[in-house]
Amino acid sequence: MERGESILWQNLSSPELGELARMGAVAIVPVGAIEQHGPHLPVGVDTIAASEVARRAAEEIEEFPVVVTPPVWWGVSPHHMGFAGTINLSTDTLIALLTDICRSVSKHGFERILILNGHGGNAGLVEVAAQRLTEGPEKVWVAAATYFRMISEELDAIGESELGGMSHAGEMETSVVLAVQPSLVRMDRAVDEPRRRLTSFTKADARLGGTVYYPLDLRRDSRSGVLGVPGVASAEKGERILQAAVDKLVAFLREYRELPSEYA
């Protein structure tokens, strides 16, 4: 079996996964969303990106095993339901789904689990799921992260668009899909519609996190379903973004693996 296949949970047998747990493997649970990404991108962008970052990071680490579970394709996307193709989970459903998955992974002996998120609408909820897992007598300790929040400085260096260009379906996400699955991108249909910052306290795009959260409604906030500038996207930028995320994730996983046993 090729290494790229051997780090995917669904390609392994039960005894192989049991052995990986005994070897102290780290398990990554990618989670994204199925939601509209404007007229030029597929609805699976967020899951495609989170899965790719997880897979590349797992392949890059050689000193201990890393296994990537099947992705959670769906996320919390009520703000996209005004556009066709979006499949929305309630907040309670996503949290319950993630906690059930992580409890199952933990039950099989995996002591280091990371929920890796690729969708802005899930960002706070993956942290809630991690907290929920510590409740009750059977505590499970997991880490949770959103990949693009780990690389805001790198995105600032890579991005060419003005602030507001790296939000939804814009320069960042379009570049990532161009790098991973270019056949799914229809650049002839791309629309530039930068995200407008509502106040000086709210978020503009992935390069600048706001201190106050305010929910989006894409039908209210965008004509096309885009909040960004896909017109300046490129596969080269996508590779740089992915590598930046992989580098940060690999660095975290190496530190996470070395935490003392009381943190597992």
Q: pLDDT by residue (tens digit) across 191-247? A: 999 999 999 999 999 998 889 999 999 999 999 999 999 999 999 999 999 999 999
**Residue 232: what are its φ and ψ, rounded to 5°?**
-100, 10
**Domain range for residue 192?**
3-259
**Separation between Cα atoms, residue 85 and residue 155, nearest integer Å:** 28
Fill in the amino acid letter for 35. Answer: E
177 pLDDT higher than 70: yes
Q: Phi-psi bin for 78: left (phi > 0), alpha (psi -120 to 50), beta?
A: alpha
Q: What is the pLDDT of residues 6-49, one digit of tens each?
A: 799 999 999 999 999 999 999 999 999 999 999 999 999 999 99
C-alpha separations of 247 from 123, 202, 238, 243 in Å = 20, 28, 14, 6
> Please, is 13 exposed, middle or buried when counting C-beta atoms within 10 Å of its C-beta (0-12, 13-18, 19+)?
exposed
**Residue 237: what are its φ and ψ, rounded to 5°?**
-65, -40
pLDDT at 208: 87
Q: What CATH code is carried by the domain that includes residue 152?
A: 3.40.50.10310
Helices (H), the chain: 3-6, 14-22, 45-60, 91-107, 123-132, 152-158, 171-180, 218-221, 235-257
- Mean pLDDT for 82-106 is 98
Contact 146, 81 (CB under 8 A): no
pLDDT at 209: 83
Residue 67 lies in a domain: yes
Residue 15 lies in a domain: yes
pLDDT at 1: 47
262 pLDDT higher than 60: yes
Contact 71, 32 (CB under 8 A): yes
Give just the sign of the alpha carbon dihedral 104, 106, 109, 113: positive
Residue 142 lies in a domain: yes
Please give the share of the chain, as a percent, with pLDDT higher than 90.
94
5 pLDDT higher than 60: no
24, two tokens: 């102290």
- Give the mean pLDDT of the chain: 96
pLDDT at 4: 54
pLDDT at 128: 98
- Mean pLDDT for 115-143 is 96
Residue 264 lies in a domain: no
- Give the DSSP letter of residue 162: P
Contact 114, 27 (CB under 8 A): yes
Number of domains in the chain: 1
Task: Give the DSSP per-residue string, 118-144.
Answer: --GGGHHHHHHHHHHTTSSSS----EE
